[in-house]
Amino acid sequence: MNSAMSLQIKCSVCLSDFTDPVTLSCEHSFCRECITGHMQASLGPSACPECQRPYNEEDLKSSRLLRNMTSTVREHLAELKLDKSTSKEGAETLKLSEMERNLMCSEHDEKLKLFCETDQKLVCVICRDGDKHKGHIFKPVKEAAQINKVNTTISLQIKSSILSFQISAQFKEMHRFLRQKEDEVKKELEKEEKKVIKFMQNNQSVINRRFMENKEKEIILQSALEIEQPDHFLQWWNEKGFPMTKNMKQKADMTPSKIKYASKVKDLTVLPDSLFLGPHETHLQFFVWKEMLGSIKPVPESLTLKKSGESYLKVSPGGTRIRQADRVTGLYKDFNPGTVSEKNFRAGQHYWEIEVGEKPDWTVGIKIGAEKQLSATKSAESEILLHLKHSKGYVLTCDGKDTTLNTRDKPQKIGLYLDCERKQVSFYNADNMSQLTQINYSSKQPCCLTLVPGLYLDGMNSDPLTVCSYEFNTGKH
């Protein structure tokens, strides 16, 4: 009885008493450190070591009951050992050696003393010598447990280092782009500066030259005024004065009473405020950000929607927009058809952005099921859907169960992230990239995107849902 009781407080990963126990959605329990290390070390989707059901960090729920029970069982076992006058070792919690004696092979009724590294499972000595484990590598349970703990830590550190390198590399690429753009804008400024300075210098030279020409004319005219003999003045006027002043008039045929003289420098300016870079001066960050988007990879994926065949549902020719058809009567006002993507997804990570705008009612999500079931009309094995319901606000639906989401934001765009490896779906406010909710699924069936434009609402919800495209290099947006 005592052995059976002690087994209830053992972690199947480290084979020791629970430390800070947590329970998964499948109701199997482990030490928090053990299951977190197992999750981080997994190259693919994390699966429960006991039943292989997928899980993520959000599934780790602290178990106060199990923690209290572990403490109580430890105390009880210690008291029993003390009552039997056992050694001081007996007063401690059941160690790994006792765990080995209590674990029995269901096939051979022998103690599970070995760990098969090839199959990653506990075996007895008879299993080791059987054909099923022929050529496999074995270690004693205690040694294997210690090695696995070390390997888990090392795997976590390696994975963390790889992610750190990837993050640094991607930020380095963005920094490189920004530095390159900064150099380009500064060169443009330098070029514009030289251009303006040259223009100003040319104008200044022309102004100086014309000033000197006018100064010479002024001296000549001034000297002419000093001629006292009328006949000498008239002779000068006829030979020099009249031709000189004639070229200075705005119009040659002006009467003496209306004569006006043209300025030689009126059309010339130094332009002290002419240096201007346009949007790179007034909207620099926005223009650079738009240019930077073209170099970012990956970007949200393009997607083509299936034509559903419903007369009340309109899909655009390119398969990127969907809306309710215009109606002239109030019939079928609660009819709310939708469609799915032409492509199904089984592997990898995928991200899309859906423009919902100011629509008061819509649905965006994932359908999961057999490929022949993934259509606009047939039900899938399961669905993960985010709704904006005009009467209830934001609602998450998973396998028919609704959960109300508390959010103050009203996004114009919804981001949907599908991780087929970890079997995880996340919804984002794509306006500021904040996460709205995240949920896991267990099915191994393919997935597809599903869109429902929402109830018609007497024409108030006739705007389309649009799958956003970011194919900058081809000029599409």
pLDDT tens digits, 91-142: 444 455 555 455 688 888 888 888 888 888 888 888 888 888 888 988 888 8
Dist CA 313 CA 306 (whole Å): 11
Buried b / exposed e along 77-102 (16+ C-beta atoms within 10 A): beeebeeeeeeeebeebbeeebbbeb
Res 474: pLDDT: 40
Q: Which residue has the tokens 């994926």?
A: 301
472 — pLDDT class (breaks 50, 70, 90): low
Res 254: pLDDT: 56
Q: Is the pLDDT reported for residue 368 higher than 80?
A: yes
Percent of the chain whose predicted confidence (pLDDT) is above 90 = 23
Dist CA 349 CA 300 (whole Å): 11
Q: Are 417 and 425 in contact (CB under 8 A)?
A: yes
Res 102: pLDDT: 59
Q: What tokens were used for 431?
A: 């306006």
Dist CA 122 CA 138 (whole Å): 9
Any idea which of 19-23, 36-40, 261-265, 366-370 has the lowest mean pLDDT? 261-265
Number of continuous H segments (helices) and E segments (strands) in the chain: 10, 19
Res 405: pLDDT: 93
Q: In the predicted model, what is the mean pLDDT of residues 412-433?
A: 93
pLDDT in tens, 293-305: 777 777 788 889 9
Dist CA 291 CA 285 (whole Å): 10
Q: Are 337 and 310 in contact (CB under 8 A)?
A: yes
Q: Are 260 and 245 in contact (CB under 8 A)?
A: no
| Alpha helices in 247-295, H assignment, sequence order | 279-282, 284-293
Residues 108, 110, 111, 114, CA torsion sign: negative
Q: In what order do the strands lie in the sheet with 362-368?
A: 339-340, 447-452, 362-368, 382-389, 393-398, 401-404
Res 76: pLDDT: 76
What is the DSSP annotation of 283-351?
SHHHHHHHHHHTT-SS-PPP--BPP---TTEEE-TTS-EEEEPP-SSSTTTT----EEBSS-B-SSEEE
pLDDT in tens, 418-428: 999 889 999 99
Dist CA 367 CA 341 (whole Å): 10
Mean pLDDT of the chain: 81
322 — pLDDT class (breaks 50, 70, 90): very high
**The pTM of the whole model exceeds 0.75:** no
